[in-house]
Amino acid sequence: MSINSLLEYGRWIGAGVGIFWANYLGGSPQEQFSIITAWTVLSIAGLTGMESLVFSESASKVSGYGTGGAYQRQSGLNNLALALACIVSYALGWGTMAQAALMSVLLIFLILSAANHFYSAFKEGNRNRRNLLRPLLTAMLVGVIVPYMMAALAA
């Protein structure tokens, strides 16, 4: 199994662990959403950023997007910025509204990324596993996380 496959699984497993721990440890809707946000943003944005920076060439090949390069490095830095902003938000105690903003950025990015994978798979014929599964997994993740976010914001 390649490092890129491990990182791909790690992203989704991290989000799943966050949802599990939120239900196991979290009491209030804000506590649950806080746990989910930390796990999801750090695992998805953090691991994606690291993959784009450290394993860019192999990540591009897995997705069928060429050989990487400066643009992928820039995208990786953007993902790392989101993960670091999440760490700063928790360290400074910015609370639920900041967590909702960070999660909104991540979910919007994932929706747009899923649309790009869908386009690549069906318009460009790049039907690798990642391009076919990303839209489905993103829809599932958004469908699970948004109710937690709405409950936390309503409380």
Tens-digit pLDDT profile for residues 77-94: 999 999 999 999 999 999
What tens digit of pLDDT does each residue of 9-54 get? 999 999 999 999 999 998 999 999 999 999 999 999 999 999 988 8
Is 133's pLDDT higher than 90?
Answer: no
pLDDT of 39 reads: 98
Phi, then psi, of 2 in degrees rounded to 5: -80, 160
Question: How confident is the model at residue 63, as a pLDDT?
Answer: 62
pLDDT at 68: 65
The pLDDT tens digits of the residues spanning 48-76 come to 999 988 887 766 666 656 666 777 788 89
Predicted pLDDT of residue 62: 63
| Rounded Cα gap, residues 70 and 12, in angstroms | 26
pLDDT at 137 over 70: yes
Q: Can you say how many angstroms the Cα of residue 104 is from the centroid of all Cα atoms in its chain?
A: 11
**Dihedral of CA 56/60/129/115: which sign?**
positive
Top mean-pLDDT range of 1-10, 49-58, 94-103, 127-136:
94-103
- Residue 147 — pLDDT band, cuts 50, 70, 90? very high
